[in-house]
Structure 1
């Protein structure tokens, strides 16, 4: 373009430029792209290196721009402002010293503004390192320490395969010694009983992720300044966290036992940090949402927390459980060169002799079997989960619940999937159980809930329909089922449901120029909870800051009072009062968007239709 020629002094070439001297790919920018905008730090995109393999980042520059490898490397490393607060400072003062049951800890004072000071204590061990003979064992309490524990930096993350190794996802070292937590706490005098406590469990398909991604200073600014203590925890992932032999040789659900151990540590120690052990809210997103839902219904976590917030995933989701985890684990053993074993005990003995790298996996590129969606998941083991989710939910202690999804949950998982009318039909067919009476007719009826394939041929409409059917099948129907079952089992217990529809298109980076449908997708509410961009960097504008304040206030209100609107005695601080769901209005939810409102139809009734089809299957089986 003329603009490109003026900026660079280079004429536009018709041939593709030579590849730079590095493992990046140069692609042509859209004709209408703003060149200056490309030169800011929201430039990272993804492409598939191989079918069903991991995602690799590449840098997107205008065609013919003439940037060499060294310049690209410098560009990639350039720091950017992407959150409500800055990252770690080189001159951060030390925090106060706190005495825990296991010894003294000292962290950093991340906020010091007059009488509004917030301390961060990072990398505190809540269990012994699960190494050696403790590998594949339930977590054990940590040993006491004599010196002051240095809690000024993140602890190691769990063993996992590194997929994202750039920008915001440049994480620290990984180790089996990953059972660490982080406490962010106000320094001013707490209310009677202590500050409400919010515990966050990260997602990542039970295979990847760590607590550091969600920030430190931004948590202090966005949440702690609203009079809460925040704790972020880590747990074993992948095969180290979810190996199962189906017998006593290896306890199942070790990752969930780790989360429970963290909650037990909080009960023992949070008062020393100013927190109220009798007012603990556990929240999680994606696989973290599944985790906190399972914690809420497991008898082993009774009394450890009092409110729950599953986001973008719950235990009723099909992908929350792999149908053949024992078979998956046995196949993994053969992949790491263990060809035979005389017993489960002998298998575990051989596995303990392997390096931790043998167990690295990611949630991308998994070699799955039996229709599973994830490689490693929890299992119904007769111990942590003594019976099915449906049965456990019926008898679980009542806990106020807040739960929600993004407007188009599946969009981020279908970025590289070719979207056709045939894919819409295939997805709808998968969503209708094979035992439903008149199945072919029900499939056609379901497709018409999304699109009329006989008359609608536009690419954008087909793309949206595919995103919607996958979102409903994978997440929305499961969330609605959890809400309905909770309301039925716990009459009078408050349940607040939301749909996060707000979107700053810049949060997609340059992807927004390539997508036919751009909506809030899986995890896009998290920047507005933590005050920090998580995947692609973008600067918060005035509307973003306003949404961040409103969204995070709803969460801290729920943690403090069990009501996102605030204390019952006062009017709501939200733009519109958030109405709770009920047995009569189980689809009622709150829309977070440029306009805030309550709605009584959950995604136009489509998830309810999917649940009805499942009920038809159950009746047919009876």
Structure 2
């Protein structure tokens, strides 16, 4: 009997694979594209397209333009090169200027999918690094969309956009207004809106989601008037347009610094010179100074970023949330998002044998408050040390540094964006979360929570694709996040859709400004209120009341 059952299952799998639905060649506005199809389970299949151009090879320091198209059938089976960027050590460059390509994952059953929700991912990397496929280990790419697509029955799209000098250098005027990376993102979203129906997607149900600089980009995309009618929902994971590193307030200064490094003039001929200079040299000239300290934190060194150009970003971001009044929005942070930055500024934080001094904490508070002056720095230090007592232990001091940078760099701006979105909403819904699954990095302190980018492995289902590297509890976290994220993409409500969730996640605008604490133990106690209200009030009201200091 068991043998017959085994034969039956094998035959079913064979027939299912042989008869699986597949799109085959797809007609896009540029021409025909052919991807690959494979089985992902019993009567479940995946069409994967990699390296579809969504714009022409971009002109240097110019907006993207439509691709001219191609003859025949384009084999869309390999990731394209990343956009030209610094390597991790900032000693060389990698990637190409011809980089505006996207990737698509389409889940299929016995019949070809139709009218599926679409999720478009925007990667992070400080506006300096990154690519649509993400980091790679043995062909296991971080941003592989297969698990999300299969488990949530959604189409997933990832793409490249220009970063560093090529993506965000700006002269602050019409010569080189900047925001080229944001325009690339807009071009990719527009391409998806125009073409995704041919892949089985619903062009009127597009959700954009992203992390870090990609999360901030998501916020810029929904508040920009350029995307009207293109985006239905959005998810920001650790970053919004109000973050202190999201806007470059003095782009001309940094453009001139880059020009000087590559031998270009700083007068009216600067942009023409930069456009004809070796792009590797211009990219290398946009290095970030990593030799930071408590007195010069790294958050103030991220100067190749978006600018208020009067076009894509026509005004201060906090005045533009009316453009997202009908776009459902999830935004949140990791509970120790600032850890990665804090350890660059004060390296003793990760060293159990080293002491982080009160003087270093005070110096950091002063540095983070520099735009508001010395008195604001003193107030910031007092606000974060009010519960220390006369003899704070080493652990409390180190955790205070992480809390301060987390609040300043990510949490408070995100909470502010949630309030603005909720206050401006018409039909839109607003949801807030805190991700608190402890980091899996063994060298981190025992008190460590979720570091910056820790949630990405769960959103993209890595505990399922590489099961030996995770415990069952990690698969629970991944299952929960994919369920909430894809339900939201389907319906605008993270609790309603094809996937079961462990607890109802209430809207932010409910009494008490509720949020969901996401980890492997989600239950009714995970729904909480008023996230770090005292510190949010401090930064947005008390700190903001100090007069701005011109540097």
Short-chain TM bin: 0.7 to 0.9
Is contact 1:122-1:183 (8 Å) kept?
Answer: yes
1:446 maps onto 2:383 in alignment: yes
Counterparts of 1:585 and 1:180, CA distance in 2: 43
Is contact 2:357–2:397 with CA below 8 Å preserved after alignment?
yes
For 1:104, the equivalent position in structure 2 comes to 32
Which residue does 1:53 correspond to in 2? Answer: none
Deviation of 1:440 (Å): 7.3
Change (3 A) 1:483 1:604: closer
CA spacing shift, 1:525–1:328, aligned 2, 3 Å = same
Equivalence for 1:383: 311
Q: CA deviation at 1:335?
A: 0.4
Question: Helix, strand or coil for the counterpart of 1:155?
Answer: coil
CA distance in 1, matches of 2:29, 2:185: 19
Segment of structure 1 superposing worse, 282-291 or 572-581: 572-581
Judging changes above 3 Å, is the alpha-carbon distance between structure 1 residues 429 and 187 closer, same or farther for their aligned structure 2 residues? same
* SS of residue matched to 2:33: strand
CA distance in structure 2 between the partners assigned to 1:438 and 1:353 by the alignment? 47
Aligned pair partner of 2:170 in 244, 264, 274: 244
For the pair 1:463 / 2:398, whether they are aligned, the reply is yes
Aligned partners of 1:111, 1:511: CA distance in 2, in Å? Answer: 39
1: CA distance, partners of 2:277 / 2:28: 35
Please give the secondary structure, in 2, of the residue aligned with 1:293. Answer: helix
Q: Which residue of 2 aligns with 1:607?
A: 536
Measured in 2, the distance between the counterparts of 1:216 and 1:619 equals 41
| 1:360 aligned partner | 283
Question: Alpha carbon RMSD of aligned pairs, Å?
Answer: 3.1
Q: Which residue of 1 aligns with 2:54?
A: 126
Q: Secondary structure of 1:283's partner?
A: strand
Contact 2:216–2:246 (CA<8 Å) still a contact in 1? yes
2:462 aligned residue = 532
2:431 paired residue number: 496
Are the equivalent residues in 2 in contact too, given 1:281–1:559 (CA < 8 A)? yes
Secondary structure (helix, strand or coil) at the match of 1:288 reads helix
Q: Give 1:210 shift.
A: 0.7
1:348 equivalent in structure 2: 271
Deviates more, 1:205-214 or 1:402-411: 205-214
Structure 1 residues 28-177: aligned runs within 5 Å: 96-130=24-58, 134-163=59-88, 174-177=95-98
Residue 541 to residue 142, structure 1, CA distance change in 2 (3 Å): same
Aligned residue in 2 for 1:3: none
Is 2:152–2:486's contact at 8 Å kept on the other side of the alignment? yes
Residues 578 and 337 of structure 1: is their aligned pair in 2 closer, same or farther, counting only changes over 3 Å?
A: same
Secondary structure of the 2:47 match is strand
Over 3 Å counting, the alpha-carbon distance change for 1:185 and 1:383 in structure 2 is same
Residue in 1 that maps onto 2:360: 423
Mapped to 2, the partners of 1:246 and 1:551 lie a distance apart of: 40
Matches within 5 A, 1:315-326: 315-326=241-252
Distance 1:218 1:358 in 2: 31
Q: CA deviation at 1:240?
A: 0.6
Segments of structure 2 that go 5 or more residues without pairing to the other structure are 1-20, 136-140, 349-355
Answer with 150-159 or 350-359: which moved more: 350-359
5+ long unaligned stretches in structure 1: 1-92, 166-171
Aligned to 1:219: 145
> Which residue, out of 162, 187, 190, partners 1:264?
190
SS in 2 for 1:105: strand
Kept in 2: contact 1:110–1:217 (CA 8 A):
no
Q: Any conservation in 1 of the 2:325–2:426 contact (CA below 8 Å)?
A: no
8 A Cα contact 2:239 2:410, kept in partner: yes
**CA distance, structure 2, for counterparts of residue 517 and residue 144 of structure 1:** 54
1:41 match: none
Q: Would you say the 8 A contact 1:487–1:583 is kept in 2? A: no
Distance 1:405 1:234, change over 3 A: same
- Residue 578 of structure 1 and its aligned partner are, at CA, apart by 0.7
Of residues 482, 485, 492, the one that matches 1:562 is 492
Cα 1:437/1:613, change in 2 over 3 Å: farther
1:426 Cα offset (Å): 2.5
Look up the match of 1:64. Answer: none
Note the C-alpha offset of 1:585: 2.6
Quote the Cα distance in structure 1 between the aligned partners of 2:336 and 2:374.
30
CA distance in 1: counterparts of 2:307 and 2:328, whole angstroms: 25
Provide, for residues 503-527 of structure 1, a one-character-per-residue CA deviation record: whole Å limited to 9, x for no partner. 3x5x31x424xx3542211111110
SS in 2 for 1:555: helix
Q: State how far apart, in whole Å, the 2-side matches of 1:341 and 1:615 are.
A: 35
SS of the residue corresponding to residue 235 of structure 2 reads strand
Task: Give the stretch that moved more between structures: 109-118 or 244-253.
Answer: 109-118
Partner in structure 2 of residue 486 of structure 1: 421
**Offset, 1:500:** 0.7
Distance 1:423 1:517, change over 3 A: farther
Deviations 1:17-45 (A, max 9, x none): xxxxxxxxxxxxxxxxxxxxxxxxxxxxx
Change beyond 3 A, Cα 1:216–1:520: closer
CA–CA distance in structure 2, aligned partners of residues 604 and 248 of structure 1 = 42
Partner SS state of residue 409, structure 1: coil
Count of aligned pairs between the two proteins:
504
Alignment of 1:185-334 (within 5 A): 185-188=106-109, 189=111, 194-213=115-134, 215=141, 219-334=145-260
Q: Give, in angstroms, the shift of residue 191 of structure 1.
A: 6.8
Which residue pairs with 1:522 in the alignment? 452
